[in-house]
Structure 1
């Protein structure tokens, strides 16, 4: 029998360790490298690798019914939308339950990966070692690299990306200050909602290039993302009905003092916020 291919997995966040689980199930040999000292990636609050965008008050906006791994149920007593610390513990429990931790090499980053003349992958590690693999899985996520626009002019105040936000007092104490949150994505809505509480920011302004649909976490008393189209329903019809329901339930965004969206619900990634 021909030997099985050997794989390299970059990262031990939820994509990395679930890839490792599947390869282990299939008996495919692999190495998994994680630059930090533990698993969790973006959901590892104050991750020492500096790449986590997790803030102290963060609750995931995907319900536990949607985020659960198919081979490991979420705890029955969880709230519908868990806190980041619960999600990280769930990840740890998953990794330990399936015996994956001993297959992960921590405190080791992949600094370079390139195909050689044979079509294999030469992977260079932060310790200077280079190893050869048949298959490469890049599971390093996409929230670790903040994208900050460049604005003309000069600003004397404190400016930072939401990636650096931890609490209303870190990295800057916002009490009594005028705060501008740029954008209307999920992080923007979370942070704006938190800082606009009366004891915190003196004035909170949200700046956006265009309006978006801000969807609630609950509709009709149930987590909104539990709703699903019947498998027999044509996608076009299902989307039309979903949009009609959203508009009927929420009304116009302008009624909340928000700019009018230039698109239909579900045509773009929605922001989820109560």
Structure 2
């Protein structure tokens, strides 16, 4: 069932991601160019790309995701552990260049040294394999292990390198626990990804305190950067679709998970 969900989600996202959807819409319009509907579809595709070329529509969808869970106002004195979700590393580039490479979500990892210093005796798990449907050779966990080794921190962090999505992050990471550790785990991931992550981990039986990083939404002003605007919109749409898909699959405890008391 997990495999079916993984492959189906990847296939549907290929079609539904805004950039691919507009491209497919343009192809359909050209195919129907001799009909009125073809002209209307082409007009829609051109207008859509025109708006996205100048205005960051992604902000409208990113902001409610990023504002759902705030950074803790006070950090607890003790934690059962810290868990960091993958996604900030570039696994393939790290392997090819034999040097840890990071992407826009690098903040997920950049907070680790400070947290390790603040909680020197606390278990830490990094969870992340490969989310690729076609290429499972390069694992995010390997890139992070390489980076931690350069900092002399390799022995402080357990690496889970087989998970392919957020659901498997929660399930596979639990297998690393020697016992059912009582108390809350600090959950580190991108702010836009936090609602889905919290819902999934709660459903899997974890007690978590959200620790959001990597904020993407910016000011609502003209920004003539199509690639950046489209990237933000892709991230936001993917996350909202993910929330719905995970809820319908019973992988999360709510359609749009909300804050609770600390550690609950």
TM range (shorter): under 0.3
Larger radius of gyration: 1
Higher strand share: 1
Q: Using structure 2 for the length normalisation, give the TM-score.
A: 0.24
